Amino acid sequence: MKSVCTSVKDRTLVVVSGFVALLVVFSCYLVYYSASFYGINETGDEVKENLARTEQRMATIEGCITDSNDDRITYAEKPNQPAACMHLSYGQLIGYNSLTYGKYGLRRTFEKELFTGDKDHHGATLKLTTVNRLQDAAYEEIKGTEGCVVILENATGRILALATACPGLEFDVNHVGKTVKAFDSSGYDGAWIQNWSKKLAPGSTMKPVTATLVYDENRSEEVYDDTGSEKIGGYVFHNAGGAVNGRITLKKAVVKSCNTYFSHMADEIGSFKLQERAEAFYIGKELELDFCTIRSEHNLTHSTTEEIAAAGIGQGKLLLTPMNMALIAQTIANGGAVKKPYLIDSIYTPQGFLYQGKTEVLGRACAEETAAYVADAMREAAVSYGIDKNLGIHAKTGTAQVNGTHRASFISFNDSYTVCIVENHTSKAGRNLAPKAVRLYKVLESL
Amino acid sequence: MKKAIQDTGLFLVLNAVFVVLLVLFAMNRNLTNEMLAIFFPMLIVTSGALLYTGYYDGDMLTAMSAALLLEIGQMTQVLIFGEGGLPLKSKVLLLAAPLVGAIGVWLISWLETKDFSNAAVGQTYLLISTGMLAFVLLVLLVFGKEKNGTKAWIEAGGFSIQPTEFLKPLYVLFHAVLWSSCRNRQKSFLLSAGLTVMVAMLLLLINELGTLLVILLLWIILHFIFSDKPVYSVTALLGTVTAVLSGYGILSFIHSRVVRLSEMGEEINGALFRLNTIYRKLHDRIMIVFDEEQLFSNADYRNGDGYQFYKAREMILKGGLFGSMSSTHVPVEDSDYAFVGLILRCGVVFAIVVLVLFFVIFYRTVMKSVHIDNPFKSVMMTGASLSLILPTFINVMGTTNFSFMTGICIPFLSNGGTSMLLTTFYIMLLLWGTCDRRPDLNGRFVRNHAKPKIQPEDVPFTR
């Protein structure tokens, strides 16, 4: 050890010098980083501007959020006091805006409006297109599951309910600390994802889109002999439950949700037209809404024949959000016109409107006649799911199997409304969601 | 004794001025009572430590710096917790810490008397220190409670302790015994490398990357100082760098595979999911250092994963050079982000003074350790000194985005119970080590530095 320590002092001095250098460099950096005047560093300037906004926010009473009937969803009485939420069914949608726990949901997106005070230090009121009673009912249908409900008004695109839930967790925005801790420690991967923008394998809810294309290709009456399997490329497609449907045309294929028929048609029609039609339904394209951007995945470029056929039946690389699925149903209901869903009815202060939402037609996905044909097929499908024909509901289900669990989806519409329900990681099939949808249509009728 | 009383008196006079300034500062923030309640018992403790150090010719500058840091640390906590005051558990720990530290120092002074050059004694204590290290890590693996993705905590009876904090002194103890007992350099290097790999692997398993970083830096620096052959220090450095880069490469590969599987719609579970989480955590923390501007311009990142970094940035700007009265908060401000909390309230200039105090302790004690002829004590002192300064720099550089964030507490300032106990132990060990004369276990006075046997060519250190 003696020889080891011969030059210990020199080496120690080297280490000490290293720390001196580090201390000097770090101190200079700290002074630069904390520069409290503008123009020293750009990030600092931006942060300072945000700080000024935070100061203003702390002197402001958070603006109210209301539903379309002006019933309050959140309400605050004092500055720097979080607004109380009266309907926890809106939890994931409205989120929170906390100095300690950060920002989330609408209270993050519309922070500027909700927290910028007028002369009375009141933030603006955010009026949503939703209806509280319907929202609460929608949330009750999926509570305790990894589920989502999207309800749209066909004629306008107004979002009447937008509920999302997590298994075993309640998004209680009145107790943010508790909620954040519970979500963070739940170990549940999707806890912080609002399910309406969660990309999932859609399964057969994609078939109506493929069906519009088959119809436009004048192949709706073409008879296909379903033997229960269809080999495309190196992959054999089967029907759910091993069903064999025999000789069928397009309408029966929709009703029976025939995988072999749609994979065969998708393969024959080809990737270019399939992708073009999907994009007309805003699948694989960014859908910028007034409160978030919806992104789905549908890119058939460089795809194999198996992948193209799989996309035709809602499998393979195709990933859709529940909002996309709702839009498919709404487009069919509107005779092929794609109406942009919107959630913000208006933002206003006592001095006037800051923003007013309006109906916007994004384009036409298919001809009216095509949509009517597919709607008719979906009407028959709804009856096959056990829905009373007199209710006038058109529907299509989807069940994707991933790692032993199901992703069940149910898209439907009647003359006035579109209802889409999705449950992920469930043992249910899509058709098991039909009773939930029927209950929601009944609430819609009673509004 | 007279000099000790003079030094302590001088410090207390200076300290009284400091405390008056602090109280004036606290009055502006309505924290006077809380501040006084904390400082009164603390002054008694620090006065005792100063008297002890002065009486045994210890390094008064180290003692004063430590006393000031202790006060500043508690002041920071009072400011962060505000009028509600410190949690009761923290107050209890504050009073219990000197007792635990004293027991630790007594154990080290007992070990110092052992003849490690005797092969049997050396091997016995090497086995004991290795066993204790392995025990701590295995207990964590089995009973550890996961917090923020790291399994570094054990909870019992309403208290939670962080056993990973004990790894640093145990790791240093192993090397102190090793270099005091093993004369075969190659063998001692291999033993040290073997232990480091074992500790590193187990720390990786519990995802405690902050402590792993401290252990690796301790390994490199201790080898650099105490290995007379450059081949060992160079091997330690290159080996660590290679292992770190390879590990990151493997994680990066796993991440790309996970991305591919996700694109194919497959669910990621188990080990793949866990390793991918580690990669993403590491990647984000590294990227924020290099691409702060772009990441902060993204509102999703700013309000999501990057929220803490962004809030810390805000607080530093808000604090500016001389502090502010703002009530901005960042999550875990009382522990990981205590330094940022201090900058917000007292400014960058004061924060740099705090860093200088840390450096004074490091410099004074590490230079004293050079002149100690007992290799066991010399390594223990250097290791303890490094165990204070390394987490300090890692924490302050991470929370201010100078380097990547690790989740390590800053000694004195952070409200970590285990960290507070260990910090007190380190300081008491360092003060004990700097004492030129001190009572041995039989109550007789011995001198540490009477004859510098380590470096005959150097002038002996005298006060």
Q: Residues with Cβ < 8 Å from B128, sequence gap 6 or more?
A: none
Nearest to B267 among A2, A54, A402 (CB): A402
pLDDT at residue B41, rounded to an integer: 65
The residue type of B400 is T
Asked if B289 has any chain A CB less than 8 Å from its own CB, the reply is: no
For an interface test with A, the pick among B115, B218, B228, B292 (most A C-beta atoms closer than 10 Å) comes out as B228
H, E, C per residue of B12-46: HHHHHHHHHHHHHHHHCCCCHHHHHHHHHHHHHHH
> How many residue pairs bridge chain A and chain B with CB atoms within 8 Å of each other?
147
> Would you place residue A169 in the very low, low, confident or very high pLDDT band (cuts 50, 70, 90)?
confident
Chain A residue closest in CA terms to B294: A43
B227 to chain A, any CB pair closer than 8 A? The answer is yes
Q: Is the pLDDT of residue A344 over 90?
A: yes
Task: Give the residue among B404, B406, B396, B209 at the shortest CA–CA distance from B289.
Answer: B404
Q: Which residue of B has its CA nearest to A180?
A: B331
Phi, psi of B52 (to 5 degrees): -60, -50
> What residues of B are in contact with residue A20 (Cβ under 8 Å)?
359
Task: Compute the nearest-CA separation of A440 from chain B (Å).
Answer: 30
Locate all alpha helices (DSSP H) within A283-411, ordered by sequence.
305-312, 322-333, 368-384
Which residue does chain B place closest to A8, by CA atoms? B225
Query: Which of A34, A102, A297 has its CB closest to that of B317?
Result: A34
Interface confidence (ipTM) of the complex: 0.84
Both tokens assigned to B82: 């505000």
Of B221, B310, B348, the CB nearest to A15: B221
pLDDT at position A250 is 92
CA B25 to chain centre: 28
Q: What pLDDT score does B265 carry?
A: 64
Closest residue in A to B390 (Cα–Cα): A19
Q: Which residues of chain B from 169 to 188 reach within 8 Å of chain A, CB to CB?
A: 179-180, 183, 185
How many Å lie between the alpha carbon of A366 and the closest alpha carbon of chain B?
29
User: pLDDT-derived band of residue A387, with 50, 70 and 90 as boundaries?
Assistant: very high
Is the CB of A2 less than 8 angstroms away from the CB of B263? no
Is residue A9 pLDDT above 90, yes or no? no
Q: Say which of B303, B321, B331 has its CB closest to residue A100.
A: B331
Instruction: Choose the mutation target among B272, B348, B399 for the interface with A, i.e. most A CBs under 10 Å.
Output: B348
Give, in order, the Cα–Cα distances in Å from A203 to each of A243, A282, A330, A332, A384: 17, 17, 18, 18, 18
Give contacts of B 336-365 with A, CB under 8 A.
343, 347-348, 351-352, 355-356, 359, 362-363
B339 in Cβ contact with B363 (< 8 Å): no
- Cβ contacts (< 8 Å) between B393 and chain A: which residues? 19, 22, 26
What is the bridge-based pairing of β-strands A405-413 and A417-426?
antiparallel
Q: Which residues on chain B are in Cβ contact (under 8 Å) with A8?
A: 225-226, 370, 378, 454-455
Measuring CA to CA, which residue among B129, B233, B126 is closest to residue B189? B233
User: Could you read off the pLDDT of A18-54 as tens digits, one per residue?
Assistant: 999 999 999 988 888 776 554 555 666 666 677 777 7
pLDDT(A436) > 90 = yes
How high is the pLDDT of residue B438?
57
Chain A contact for B320, CB < 8 A?
A: yes
Confidence (pLDDT) at A346:
94
B455 and A54 within 8 Å at the Cβ level: the answer is: no
Residue-level pLDDT at A115? 83
The alpha carbon torsion through A114, A120, A121, A122 (nearest 10 deg) reads: -20
Query: What does the pLDDT read at residue B457?
Result: 39
pLDDT of residue B94: 72
Q: What is the pLDDT of residue A435?
A: 93
Cβ neighbours of B148 in A, within 8 Å: 184
Tell which CATH classification among 3.40.710.10, 3.40.50.300, 3.40.50.720, 3.40.50.1820 matches the domain A199-339+365-446: 3.40.710.10
CA distance B294 to chain A (A): 9
CB contact under 8 A, B370 and A12: yes
pLDDT-derived band at A94 (thresholds 50, 70, 90) equals very high
pLDDT digits (tens, 9 = 90+) for A190-246: 566 677 788 888 889 999 999 999 999 999 898 999 898 888 888 888 888 888 888
CA distance A19 to B367: 13
Sign of the C-alpha dihedral computed for residues A8, A9, A10 and A11 taken in this order: positive
Residues 6 or more apart whose Cβ sits within 8 Å of residue A40: A32
Contacts of A14 in chain B (CB under 8 A): 224
Residue of A nearest to B308 (CA): A102
User: Any CB–CB contact under 8 A between B266 and chain A?
Assistant: yes
The whole-angstrom separation of Cα B403 and Cα B410 is 15
Q: In this complex, do A402 and B266 lie within 8 Å of one another by their Cβ atoms?
A: yes
pLDDT for the residue numbered A322: 92
Q: What is the pLDDT of residue A379?
A: 94
Predicted confidence band at A252 (pLDDT cuts at 50, 70, 90)? Answer: very high
Whole-number average pLDDT of chain A: 87
- The reply to whether residue A102 touches residue B329, judged by beta carbons under 8 angstroms, is no
Please judge whether B293 and A42 are an interchain contact, meaning their C-beta atoms are less than 8 angstroms apart: yes
pLDDT in tens, A131-162: 999 999 999 999 888 889 999 999 999 999 99
Taking residues A430-447, report their average pLDDT: 92
Share of chain A above pLDDT 70, in %: 93
The count of other CB atoms within 10 Å of the CB of residue A369 is: 11
Return the DSSP state at B337: T
pLDDT at residue A443 in the model: 94
Q: Are B451 and B373 in contact (CB under 8 A)?
A: yes
Chain A: nearest CA to B27, how far in angstroms? 23
- A6–B356 CB contact, under 8 Å: no
Beta-carbon separation of A12 and B329 below 8 A: no
The two structure tokens encoding residue B364: 């004074």
Query: Mean pLDDT: which of A60-74, A163-177, B397-411 is highest?
Result: A60-74
Q: Which DSSP helix (H) or strand (E) runs through B317?
A: helix B307-319
Are the CB atoms for A434 and A395 separated by under 8 Å? yes
Model confidence band, residue A5 (pLDDT cutoffs 50, 70, 90): very low
| Residue contact B228–A3, C-beta within 8 A | yes
Instruction: Give per-residue pLDDT as tens, A395-430.
Output: 999 988 777 778 899 999 999 999 999 998 888 888
Are A314 and A328 in contact by the 8 Å Cβ rule? The answer is no
* Chain B residues 121-180 with a CB less than 8 Å from chain A: 148, 179-180
Q: How far is B51 from chain A (nearest CA, A)?
A: 28
Check B316 against A104: CB less than 8 A apart: no
Closest Cβ–Cβ partner in B148, B314, B320 for A47: B314
Note the pLDDT of residue A3.
44
* Residue B444 confidence (pLDDT): 54
Question: What local confidence, expressed as pLDDT, does residue A49 receive?
Answer: 72
Please list the pLDDT of chain B residue by residue as tens digits (463 residues): 566 676 667 666 766 766 676 666 666 555 556 666 666 666 777 777 777 776 777 788 888 888 888 888 877 877 777 655 566 766 677 777 888 888 888 888 888 888 887 888 888 888 888 888 888 888 888 887 776 666 777 777 667 778 888 889 999 999 998 888 877 788 888 988 999 998 888 888 877 888 889 999 999 999 888 887 888 888 888 988 998 888 888 888 888 888 887 777 666 677 777 788 778 878 877 877 777 766 666 766 776 777 778 788 878 888 888 877 766 677 777 778 889 888 888 889 989 999 999 999 999 999 988 888 788 888 999 999 999 999 999 999 988 888 888 878 899 888 877 888 888 889 888 888 887 655 555 555 454 444 434 443 333 333 2
Given a cut of 50, is residue A291 above it in pLDDT? yes
> Is B266 within 8 Å of A2 when comparing Cβ atoms?
no
DSSP secondary structure of B349-395: HHHHHHHHHHHHHHHHHHHHHHT-S-HHHHHHHHHHHHHHHHHHHHH
Q: What is the pLDDT of residue B392?
A: 94
Are A319 and B362 an interchain contact pair (Cβ–Cβ within 8 Å)?
Answer: no
Please indicate if any CB of chain A lies within 8 Å of the CB of B461. Answer: no
Q: List, in order, residues 6 or more apart from B181 with CB less than 8 Å away.
A: B116, B117, B118, B119, B121, B122, B123, B125, B126
* Lowest-confidence pick of A99-103, A124-128, A285-289: A99-103
Domain positions in chain A: 199-339+365-446
Interface contact flag, B265 A31, Cβ < 8 Å: no
**Cβ–Cβ contact B234 with A under 8 A:** no
Confidence of residue A372 (pLDDT cuts 50, 70, 90): very high
Q: Is the pLDDT of residue A74 over 50?
A: yes
pLDDT for B389 equals: 93
